[in-house]
Amino acid sequence: MGAGRKTQTTTYDSANRQGGRGPPPQYKKLDKDELGGVIFGATKDTINECLTKNIFGLPYNHISYVQNIVPGMPLFLFNYSDRKLHGIFEATSEGELHIDPNAWSRDGKTETSYPAQVRVRYREKSQPLHEAVFGPVIEENYYSNVHFMFELTQDQAATLCSLFTARNPSRPATAPVPQQTVASGHAAAWAGASGQGDSAWGTGPPANAWGAAPPPSRPDTASSSKPPLPAWQSGPAGPSSNGGSSASTSSGLPADGGAAAEAERRRQQSERDREAARVREEEARAAAERQARAEAKMRAAAAEEEERRRLEEAAVERRRAEERAERERQVLEKLKKVSVNGPSANGASEPSSSSGVNGPKSAEWEREANARAETEQAQLKEERMRLFDGSRPLEVAVKETVQKNLELCAAAISHMRQEALKSKKLAEEMTSGDAQMQELKEVRAENQRLARSQTVMQRRMDELQAQMDTLRQSVVDLLSGGHVAGSPAPSPVRPRPQEVYLMGGFNGTEWLGSVDRYRPSRDEWEVVAPMSAKRSYAASAVLDGMVYVFGGGEGQLWYDTVERYDRASNSWATLSKMKIKRGSLGGAAVQGKIYAVGGGNGVNNFADVEMYDPGADKWLSAPPMLDKRFCVAAAEMHNSLYALGGFDGQQYLPTMERFDPREGYWVRAPSMSTKRGSLSAAVYNNSLFALGGFDGNVFLNTVETYEPRMNKWKLVPPMHTQRAYGASMVVDNALYFIGGLDGALHVDSVERYTPEAGWQVVKTRSNSSKRSFLAVAVL
């Protein structure tokens, strides 16, 4: 919006300002109860968007006081292009970050450079004020000739409101507004005066990513304490207080109060007219003073020019006098030679006998020349003294000019050094960006090579799988009908039952590093080797019969560590770390590689994706997702990686993305019907299931399924319990959901789903299922 635009134009008298010496302050650091208003900035290119969208914004570092704006507070908009102040506006929301994340961007998609924002509306539309009019009101805010701080005290805001009101003579008379009653500070008064009511209080995203924050409660507007409104709030009221449409005036007199009420109204109108006339008179006086100062400066400049011209003429005259004196001195020298030697016909020296004839005349010439020379020397001396005395003011002016030029040069050199540092930093960033682009190209080339290798390997694995199926069928045939006659029939070969591994999490009392093995078909629970550290909010994946657990944390501590579990040896091994620490991420194994998707660290939410190569024990950067996703779910289906739901820092997401390693980039897929974060995902019967989660308001028990052939989502029967931060898995041709949270309640039940029976609660003999924020794997 141009809040940092530089200009050389000066339209307001800056004699009492600092002149930009020292580092410019960013804000006045007013307390919330001291802040009376805020000035926002715009240019001719952005002011229309501000007024049409009814939203103002400033750069990020101004959020320290923008967040103190409450509904009803007066706001003003300064146009840098013509140096005029527009108003009177008032806030219709609280000041916060990223109300419109893409405001004032050229394409409407780029992240805004002015995220400290507030929604506004006109309180009273008036003619804009030139800087010469409003500048004296906020003179203490200026920290250079053309830059000022945007925070306003209550007195400054009230004075600016008066200036705008005085410039709007067509404004109808209004009765004074009775003082409102509030419960806490000025917030409710502002909200009440602006006519917001319930709409000024909304429900934002959760305060943190660990769970749902309750929506802010609305202040109680009925209280016995009755503090007065701020000074700027005691001006004209909203549309509901205009005279002529109300059943009674604010003083409590009935509409038909007769002559007394009419006299009171006229008296108040007369006072307002006198106040407007006084403001106009002050503006005229200020303009006259500025005009007088300008004329005085012009007269001083003319006098200085006249003095300079006079001194130059005197110097010319002095040079001419010196030249005349030099010529006369030369004549005098010749006369002296003539008086001593006498003239000769050929110009040479004659004998001294002739000097007796010319001697008296030569002496007379010499006396006259000496007298004239002495007179000229006295005149020259007097002229030199006069010129010397007259040149002193010019020397002082020259010294002052030189000093000002030196200061300007120093400022210019400092500015050039700052620009050089910025250019150097920009060059370093560009160099770093080139290196990252080169790394990305190398990763893409490696992904393409790996994709081709994986295609060949997949084809070979399909062939081997077909051979194994043939051999297995042969073994079954031999066991069922090929035994020796008379011998007992062999027992059928029973496959090993599938096992679920529940890793880490939180049981309502402590963070866990333990691992439990669960066989649903037999309801058997067993404790196996624990992880090396307590771990929650982690992701997991299964590859080549091994269980991988990565990321997560313990409370507020986040991990980049990775562990692998070997069922054969019942032991854990530590592997290479990820590039960044993160939790609440998604994970899945796709085409022989393990992917870590999204997540966050409590401060930043990530769209980053990392790929782990088990053969090289190394994590590589993969193409990032299209959206940031915290509390995301991930799953593999048909050799592609899917990421769904999550929280992007502003809202919970219903969207889904798909990544095919053979293509090397993410594409958008159909969105779910419900926003979900902290959900769980599983692939069952060739469909992708999204289970439970949190939508920003309530915990969910709904379940959706995505069928790639139909390329759309559909709802299936919901679970019996609302829950998020749990885990789902497919075991023995059934879909299971274990643990999770229902609000503050830790859920210890297990539910199983089949298309034929729907959802059923499964009874277990252990309470190990009572855990949330866990990771799960099936072997």
Contact 645, 629 (CB under 8 A): yes
Question: Given this model, what pLDDT does residue 288 score?
Answer: 77
**Model pLDDT, residue 486:** 52
Radius of gyration of the chain, Cα coordinates, nearest whole angstrom:
45
Distance CA 688, CA 643 (A): 11
- Strand pairing class (74-79; 35-42): parallel
What pLDDT does residue 121 have? 95
Cβ–Cβ under 8 Å, residues 629 and 647: yes
Q: How far is CA 133 from the centre of its chain?
A: 32
| Segments in the chain below pLDDT 70 | 1-26, 169-258, 338-362, 390-391, 476-477, 479-495
Length of the chain as a residue count: 779
CA distance 648 to 255: 56
Query: Cβ contacts of residue 71 below 8 Å, gap of 6+?
Result: 90, 91, 92, 93, 94, 187, 190, 191, 194, 196, 200
Strand order in the sheet with 618-622: 586-590, 593-597, 609-613, 618-622
**DSSP letters of 319-383?**
HHHHHHHHHHHHHHHHHHHHHHH---TTSSPPPGGGHHHHHHHHHHHHHHHHHHHHHHHHHHHHH
643 forms bridges with which residues in the sheet? Answer: 634, 657
Residue 449, pLDDT score = 83
H/E run at residue 516: strand 511-519
Place of tokens 């739901």: 645
Q: Which class for 592: exposed (0-12), middle (13-18), buried (19 or more C-beta within 10 A)?
A: middle
How many CA atoms lie within 13 Å of 17's alpha carbon, on the beta-carbon side?
Answer: 21
Q: How many CA atoms lie within 13 A of 66 on its CB side?
A: 27
pLDDT at 346: 45
What span, in angstroms and rounded, lies between the C-alpha atoms of 160 and 670?
52
pLDDT digits (tens, 9 = 90+) for 124-171: 988 999 998 999 999 999 988 889 999 999 999 999 999 998 877 555
**Model pTM greater than 0.85?**
no
Bridge partners (DSSP) of residue 669 are: 656
Residue type, 444: R
Measured from the Cβ of residue 342, the count of other Cβ atoms closer than 10 Å reads 19
Question: Could you tell me how many helices (H) and strands (E) the chain has, helices first?
Answer: 7, 36
Residue with tokens 């302050």: 25
Return the pLDDT at 398: 75
**Among 118, 124, 112, residue whose Cα is nearest residue 46:** 112
DSSP character at residue 449 = H
Residue that has been written with the tokens 């307590």 in this structure: 534
Q: What's the pLDDT at 128? A: 93
The pLDDT score that the predictor gives to residue 188 is 33
pLDDT value of position 700: 96
Q: What is the pLDDT of residue 688?
A: 97
Q: What pLDDT does residue 279 have? A: 80
Evaluate the omega torsion of the peptide bond into residue 138 and state whether it is cis, within 30 degrees of 0: no
Classify residue 192 as exposed, middle or buried by CB count within 10 Å of its CB (0-12, 13-18, 19+). buried
Give every CB contact of residue 530 below 8 A, 6+ residues apart in sequence. Answer: 513, 514, 515, 572
Q: How far apart are CA 468 and CA 462, in angstroms?
A: 10
